[in-house]
Structure 1
Amino acid sequence: MTQQTGTTSGRFTKASAISWLWRQLSRWPLTRLWRISSALGPLIYLTNKRERWVTERNLSVVYPDLSTAECKTLAQHSLRHSAATMLELGHAWMAEPHKVDASILAVFGRDKLDNARTDGRGVIVLAPHFGNWEVLNFWLSSHFPFTAMYEPPKIIDLDPVIRHGRERMGASLVPTNPRGVAALLKALKRSEAIGILPDQEPDWGSGVFAPFFGRDAYTATLLPKLVARTQARVVTGVALRVPGKGFEIHFLEADERVYSDDDVQSATGVNASVEAAIGLDAAQYQWEYKRYRKVVQEQQNLSNFRDFRLY
C-alpha cells in the first residue's frame, strides 16, 4: 500500500510539473517559443543519440540524393521543429481561444471540406505528424463537429489535462478500439469530420505493407473500411508552422488510391498523401518516428535490411 501511494505521488508530481510548464508557455508569444526551440534543436541533435540517429537514417532513406552535410542540416531543422511542437502544446491546449485563433494566419483548401459536407458526406482528415497537429485539431473542432481517436498518455495523471486541451473547442475523443471505430462510423454517417493519424504504425494484423517514399512501411487499413461503409471523402490536413509568427492550415486532396477497396492500394494512397504534405516543408515532419520498424521485424534476416538493424 505504501509503495503504491509513493508511485502515484511521483506520477502526480511529474504531471503537475509538466502541466504547470505548459500553462506558463501558453502565455509566451510564439516568437519566443521559436527562439527557444532554435536553441533546443541543436542541443537535442548533439545530446540525444537515438533521436539524431533515427532522424538521419529516415532522411537518408527517403532522400538518398542528399549529401551527408545536407542530411545533417535537414535533421537539425527537423529536430528544431519537433522541439517547437512540444513547446507549443500549451499554446494549442491552454491559451485563450482567441489567441490560438489569431495565430492561424491563413486557411488553404477549406472548400475541400465544405464541398464534401454539402454533398451530404462525411470527411476523413488524414493528419500526419507534421507542423503542429494540435493547432489543426483546434481549428477543425472550432469549425465542424469533429471526432478523433485518443490513447491516454503514459503519465496517466496528464490524461485529464490533455483530454481537456483537445476537447475544449468541441472535439469528441473516442478510444482506439472497436468501440472507437464504431463512433467514427457514426460520425461519418452524420456527415461530420473525423481525424486519422495516417503515419502511426498499427499493431500487427491491423495493417499492410505499402510504399512510403519507395520503401515499404506498415500502414493501417482502417481507412478503406471507413470509406467503404460511408462513402466519405478524404483530405489531408496540416498546420504548417510559419516560424515565430503562427500557422497556415492546408487541406490537400488525398491521392485517389485511398478510395480503392484493395487494402494495399488504399494504404499506398494514404502514404502518397502524407508524402504530398511533407512536400510543403520536409523539415516540419517528425522524422524521429521509426516508420520502417515493422519491415525490419518482418524481414530482419534479409541482408539488405542489415543497415536498419538498430530499428
Structure 2
Amino acid sequence: MDRPVFRREFLHPRFWPLWLGLGLLWLIVQLPYKALLWLGRMLGAVMQVFARERCEIITRNLQLCYPQMGNAERERLIRENFASTGIAFFEMAMSWWWSRSRLAKLAKVEGIEHLQQAQAEGQGVILMALHFTTLEIGAALLGQQHTIDGMYREHDNPLFDYIQRRGRERHNLDATAIEREDVRAMLKVLRAGRAIWYAPDQDYGRKQSIFVPLFGVQAATVTATTKFARLGRARVLPFTQERLADGSGYRLVIHPPLSDFPGESEEADCLRINQWVEQAVSACPEQYLWAHRRFKTRPPGEAKLYKKRKRK
C-alpha cells in the first residue's frame, strides 16, 4: 500500500472540527507522561459512567471467562479496564506525535533476538499479538527497533485515516501496510522474510473459524494463523506488552517461536493459541480489550451470550 499523501480536500470546512480536536489533543500530549496517565484514568472513569453498553459487554465477558471471580473483584477489574482504555487514548496520540527519542525512553524490550535471528535466516515471522489496550503504543515502540508490517483497515474518515497511518508508519519507514483481506500480499511479505503483526484473538465470524474452548467457553477461533504460517513458511512468535504499574513505561516481550507449528490439525493449533491467549490475558487482565464481543458467534443450537445491541 502506498504511503499516505496529504490532499487539498482535508482543508475543507467539514474537516475543521476534526482538525480542532486533533490540535487540542496534540497540545495535551505535550504534558509529562505521568500527567497523561492521570488524565487517562479520569477519562476512563467518565467513559464508565456513560458507556453503559460497553460496560455490560465487559461485565459479561468477565463473568464468562472468570466465573469464580467475586463481584467486588470484578467491579475493581472493570474500573481498571476503563482506566486503561482512557490511558490508551493518550497513548495513541503519544505514538503519533511524540519525538522518537522521547518515546523510546519508555520501552523495555525483551526477546528482540528472536526477531533478529529470523531476519538473519531470511525467515518470515508472524508476530502473534493480542488486542491489549496498549497495542498502539506497543507497536510503535517495537517498530523503532525492528521493522514490522501490519494488517490494515481503512478508516471511514479520510483525514483521520491519513493522520493515523502517518503517525503509525513514521516508526517503520520501510514497513508495508496490508489490507486485512489481502491474503496474497500477506503471504508475499512473509515469504520475503519480513515480520508482520497479527492478532487472532477476536471473533471474525463463522466462515473463517472453528469452535474451540477459550476460558472454558466455545469460541469461534480463526484458523488463519495456521494457514499463514504454512503457506508463508513463517515462524510464529508470540508477542505481549504491558503498561508498567510504576509509571516507568512499557514491557514488551517477544517470546520464542512456537515449536512444531503448524501442528497435526487446525483444531489443535487453535486450541494451542487459545491456551496461550488465556495465559497472556490472565497475566494482565486489566489491560485487555474486554469490550469486544468475543463469544458473539455461537455453535449451532446455542443461545446468544450477549444482550441484543441497542439501535442508535
TM value normalised by structure 1? 0.86
The answer (yes or no) to whether the contact 1:122–1:233 under 8 Å persists in 2 is yes
How do 1:50-199 residues align onto structure 2 when only pairs under 5 Å count?
Answer: 50-104=53-107, 106-170=108-172, 171-178=175-182, 181-199=183-201
The answer (yes or no) to whether the contact 1:202–1:218 under 8 Å persists in 2 is yes
Matched residues in 2 for 1:68 and 1:18: separation?
A: 38
Q: Which runs of 5+ in 2 are unaligned?
A: 1-8
Partner of 2:208: 206
The answer (yes or no) to whether the contact 2:205–2:220 under 8 Å persists in 1 is no
Partner of 1:32: 35
Quick one: structure 1 residues 22 and 217, their matched pair in 2 at CA, closer, same or farther if it must change by over 3 Å? farther
Q: Which runs of 5+ in 1 are unaligned?
A: none
Matched residues in 1 for 2:215 and 2:123: separation?
A: 31
Matched residues in 1 for 2:224 and 2:163: separation?
A: 28
Secondary structure of residue in 2 paired with 1:60: helix
The answer (yes or no) to whether the contact 2:40–2:89 under 8 Å persists in 1 is no
The structure with the greater share of residues assigned to helix is 1
Superimposed CA distance per residue, residues 155-184 of structure 1 (whole angstroms, 9 cap, x where no aligned partner): 332010001011112232111223xx2222
Matched residues in 2 for 1:17 and 1:233: separation?
A: 44
Partner of 1:290: 293
The answer (yes or no) to whether the contact 1:237–1:250 under 8 Å persists in 2 is yes
Quick one: structure 1 residues 306 and 182, their matched pair in 2 at CA, closer, same or farther if it must change by over 3 Å? closer
- How far 1:19 moved relative to its partner? 2.4
- Matched to 1:282, the amino acid is P
Matched residues in 1 for 2:207 and 2:40: separation?
A: 38
Secondary structure of residue in 1 paired with 2:49: helix
Deviates more, 1:148-157 or 1:79-88: 148-157
Partner of 1:273: 276
Quick one: structure 1 residues 258 and 133, their matched pair in 2 at CA, closer, same or farther if it must change by over 3 Å? farther
The answer (yes or no) to whether the contact 1:128–1:238 under 8 Å persists in 2 is yes
Q: CA RMSD in A?
A: 2.3
Matched residues in 2 for 1:222 and 1:9: separation?
A: 42
Deviates more, 1:278-287 or 1:73-82: 278-287
Secondary structure of residue in 2 paired with 1:45: helix
Secondary structure of residue in 1 paired with 2:105: helix
Deviates more, 1:271-280 or 1:226-235: 271-280
Partner of 1:308: 306
The answer (yes or no) to whether the contact 1:126–1:235 under 8 Å persists in 2 is yes
Matched residues in 2 for 1:288 and 1:131: separation?
A: 10
TM value normalised by structure 2? 0.86
Secondary structure of residue in 1 paired with 2:292: coil
Q: Give aligned-pair identity as a percent.
A: 24
Quick one: structure 1 residues 55 and 255, their matched pair in 2 at CA, closer, same or farther if it must change by over 3 Å? farther
The answer (yes or no) to whether the contact 1:127–1:237 under 8 Å persists in 2 is yes
Partner of 1:264: 267
- How far 1:40 moved relative to its partner? 2.5
Number of matched residues? 296
Superimposed CA distance per residue, residues 176-211 of structure 1 (whole angstroms, 9 cap, x where no aligned partner): 223xx2222122112211111222322442222222
- How far 1:253 moved relative to its partner? 4.0
Match of 1:43 among 38, 41, 46: 46
Partner of 2:225: 223
Partner of 2:6: none
Matched residues in 2 for 1:188 and 1:26: separation?
A: 35
Secondary structure of residue in 2 paired with 1:308: coil
